[in-house]
Chains A and B, each alone.
Chain A
Amino acid sequence: MALTDAQLERYSRHIILKEVGVKGQKKLLDSKVLIIGAGGLGAPAAMYLAAAGVGTIGIADADEVDLSNLQRQIIHATEDVGKPKVQSAKETMERMNPDVIIHTYRKFVMSDNIRELIRDYDFIIDGTDNFPAKFLINDACVMEKKPFSHAGIIRFKGQLMTYVPGQGPCYRCIFQSPPPKDAVPTCKQAGVIGAMGGVIGSLQAMEAIKYILGVGDLLVGKLLTYDALKMEFRTVNLPKKVPTCAVCGDHPTITELIDYEQAVCDLRG
């Protein structure tokens, strides 16, 4: 379908880019991205994807907006406190761009529903804070052959990598299994500078957009780390393949999804 005059104007700064053009903008409008977690990472990712005209955006989160979220979760505002995060996120994105269809999933993402949930989407953004979720998303994406962006943030630091099936290592290649509860600090315990979610979540949106457009190099086989205090970005090269990986290796031992115990932190915040 041809772009309307309003769309040509709205996306003019995209369309003028040789890497995007009308063709690329149509690809974005035809694409579907799922964001799991409408928090520090998911908020900026969702907003940039909506503004960019990603045609269908799914957002999954079971939480409600809390006052302590607002220091970094910029998709939610003061009057949204108490509202389901997915609802607040949907309202913000719809105000930003009526071109976008938003699907909300106010539910627990678990082993018994995640594969079905991600199946309809082209790219998944992991905006969760805890390791059981990160392993579940990784394993489900490996099994469903879906690309996804992993990210983590804490204090003044962040990390990011992209998984594309068959092209590079997965999250489990790096970290074989979740750490025990409370073994590593969380944002709630250790804090996080609000703008960190903006930096890293925006980079997740950037990876999704590049993947959809098919341009440039993705963070496949690379982990990007950001240290805000040193104001330093570094790319750590990862092995191309880890044959012993339990989920994406040569002889996978994990063939069913696992609901690890809700570890790391309590569910508030």
Chain B
Amino acid sequence: MSFSLAEKADTIVALATPQGVGAIAVIRLSGQEAIHICNAIFYGKDLTNQQSHTIHFGTIRDEERIIDEVLVSLFIAPKSFTKENVVEISTHGSSYIVNQVIKLLIRHGARPAKPGEFTQRAFLNGQFDLAQAEAVADLIHSDSETSHQAAIHQMRGGFSGEIAKLRTELIHFASMIELELDFGEEDVEFASRSDLRVLVEKLMRVVEELISSFDLGNVIKNGVPTVIAGKPNAGKSTLLNALLNEEKAIVSEIAGTTRDFIEDEINIGGVIFRFIDTAGLRETTDVIESIGVSRTQEKMKTASLILYLFDLGDTDMEEINRDILKLEALGVPFLKVANKIDKADPVFVKALKAKHPDTIFISAGKKENLDLLKDRILELVNLDQFRTGNTIVTNIRHYDSLIKTRQSLLDVLEGLDNQISNDFMAMDIRRSLHYLGEITGEITTDDLLANIFSKFCIGK
């Protein structure tokens, strides 16, 4: 993505809210002339002599014709997202109105923004470093509270801060090695190899922690992969629909109706769960369904959470015990969910409660006890680790650099084991520094920057 200097002086315009009909739409302008251009079509106060961070009511007119009643928010440079003059026009959410207003603004000197151009300007004007710019992209794409929090944390420099700290330690380490190399024949004393090992191992732990936080980060961004497992007709599709509150899976009374995965996301208490409704667990002779069953087994292994669902009227204790053993062997956290409590035999319920006191009794069809189920789901994913403000890696590029850092650090340790000369070790340290630098943009490579803004959509 290349821009000429002239292009950078332009005032750009784009719709900042999603395409489609909503209650309101926000059109964003950024650039030196943003306020003047808007003022030319706005009837109300004179926008050119208003304070920053004020909102003004008025109408947008094309000559005499009123297009819409709008609210205009002013952000005067540098106190705006892009550090340029920014105007946000809230119109009514009709695409006709939006198009008319944008056309009008273009006629008065604005230019349609390219994808990511607003964020790019913010970056160019020193609002963000690279990691922060990427966090903005994540923020825009985030649609749950925790995902939002992780992005915000990164945006405030938390991630860059952690990496920077790590780099400083590593640079210190590197300089000790370099000192030893360059002054080895002279009159200088150095840290011992065992001290160096301690330091590298400490760094490894932090890197490992960040790497493993990627799984968590990924979960936050993409949702907790959740499988509802149970034998055919236990009510899996019904439960999914109840949680989704809409008919996604085909529900019928015939066992084995759900033949393929239907994925959907549901927001429970600010965390996204990516529910995978599956075919049943039982052995089957039906060819089509047997494909579904083996794929279920695979899905279950990759899930972060399994809801083991069984029909109280159609399952005996022995079967439940057997299934639970199987699930425990999988090693994935799971909840025991007994369905159709409304039709259940109280004696069996009592026996089950005694044997498995943590069972959750619900009725998917009647939507009974679903709130309890949701609470238990949340408890199981341990939200605390999301919310303590620990640095969480959510970006695949960062993850990749951390993996390479880890490899370089492992090479350093291996070098220590083999008592290899410091000049080789120094190279592995330099490589580690290089990869850490890639995360914060300390080291810029063109392939890195070429891709960085392509994540943004127009208006961001």
Tell me, yes or no, whether A binds B.
no
- Interfacial residues, chain B to chain A (CB-CB below 8 A): none
